[in-house]
């Protein structure tokens, strides 16, 4: 089982691009086995936050500890510690999903255990796959290292309903082993299915943080997205859909 002693603690974290967009200061914490959904409009800072946590974008201020390690010790980590899956596939189109997984020091059997659908095209070059299949292959590559911390930018993008459900189930499975999972999402209807906590951000600042049922409120979401929504209630809470035009 993957363990992350101490979990993830971010206190007044501020970071971003030199002379460019900044995220923060913001604070949140996660225990082993928890899933955080980072939610907000386009260009609100969701991807930047993941890149800060992954060590790709500089952390300029604040305190960040992941699995007991301070930010000074969070450099050049192996994919088995932190795995970052970007929203756009970053791979050689002449490579196959199997080759991608092996090249990233991943385990093909682990990838298949989480995303069995990739067996259908495991040895097909990416150039011959649909955008959804490519996305699924890149997600499986990130899962294949069985990381302690998994960061996924828009895990449901390009996927059909069946595949979205499969990926959400896999994310919960990874978390159940003790890993910390952080995802960015635009699919508000999927959040109650996956998230233990939600971080709402807009313009790089926090506008809400807590359990989905406490944070995902119609009025607040309408203010953030500047659009009208329809609330559909079910046994786990509520889901929100765009109002017809």
| Residue 108: other Cβ atoms inside 10 A | 17
Q: What is the mean pLDDT of residues 196-207?
A: 95
Pick from 159, 148, 134: nearest CA to 168: 159
Instruction: Check: CB of residue 182 under 8 Å from CB of residue 10.
Output: no
Q: Is the dihedral of CA 158, 164, 170, 175 positive or negative?
A: positive
Confidence check: pLDDT of 1 > 60: no
Instruction: Check: CB of residue 117 under 8 Å from CB of residue 150.
Output: no
Q: Write down the pLDDT at residue 2.
A: 66
Average pLDDT, the chain: 91
Confidence check: pLDDT of 74 > 70: no
As a 3-state breakdown, the chain gives helix, strand, coil percent values, each rounded to 5, of 35, 30, 40
Pick from 145, 53, 41, 130: nearest CA to 93: 130
- CB within 8 A of 220, min separation 6: which ones? 200, 207, 208
CATH homologous superfamily, domain 8-242: P-loop containing nucleotide triphosphate hydrolases (3.40.50.300)
Q: Write down the pLDDT at residue 102.
A: 94
Q: Which two tokens stand for residue 131?
A: 């955008």
Whether the predicted model's global pTM rises above the 0.75 cut: yes
Confidence check: pLDDT of 29 > 60: yes
What are the pLDDT digits (tens) for 207-242?
A: 999 999 899 999 999 999 999 999 988 776 788 888
Q: How far apart are CA 158 and CA 135, in angstroms?
A: 7
Instruction: Check: CB of residue 229 under 8 Å from CB of residue 240.
Output: yes
Pick from 37, 25, 43, 33: nearest CA to 8: 33
Domain ranges of the chain: 8-242
């Amino acid at each position: 089982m993957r363990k992350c002693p101490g979990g993830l603690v971010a206190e007044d974290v501020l970071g971003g691009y030199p002379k460019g967009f900044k995220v923060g200061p913001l604070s949140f914490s996660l225990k082993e086995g928890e899933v955080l959904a980072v939610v907000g409009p386009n260009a609100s800072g969701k991807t930047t936050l993941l890149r800060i946590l992954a060590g790709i974008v500089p952390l300029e201020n604040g305190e960040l500890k992941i699995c007991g390690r301070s930010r000074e010790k969070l450099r050049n980590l192996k994919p088995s510690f932190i795995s970052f899956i970007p929203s756009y596939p970053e791979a050689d189109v002449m490579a196959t999903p199997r080759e991608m997984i092996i090249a990233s020091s991943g385990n093909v059997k682990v990838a298949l255990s989480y995303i069995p659908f990739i067996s259908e095209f495991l040895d097909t070059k990416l150039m011959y796959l649909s955008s959804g299949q490519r996305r699924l292959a890149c997600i499986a590559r990130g899962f294949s290292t069985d990381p302690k911390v998994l960061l996924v930018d828009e895990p449901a993008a390009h996927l059909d309903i069946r595949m979205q459900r499969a990926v959400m189930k896999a994310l919960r499975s990874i978390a159940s082993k003790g890993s910390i999972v952080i995802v960015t999402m635009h699919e508000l209807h999927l959040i109650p299915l996956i998230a233990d906590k939600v971080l709402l951000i807009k313009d790089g600042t926090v506008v809400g943080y807590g359990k989905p049922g406490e944070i995902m409120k119609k009025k607040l979401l309408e203010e953030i997205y500047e659009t009208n929504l329809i609330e559909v209630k079910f046994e786990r809470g509520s889901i929100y859909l765009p109002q017809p035009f």
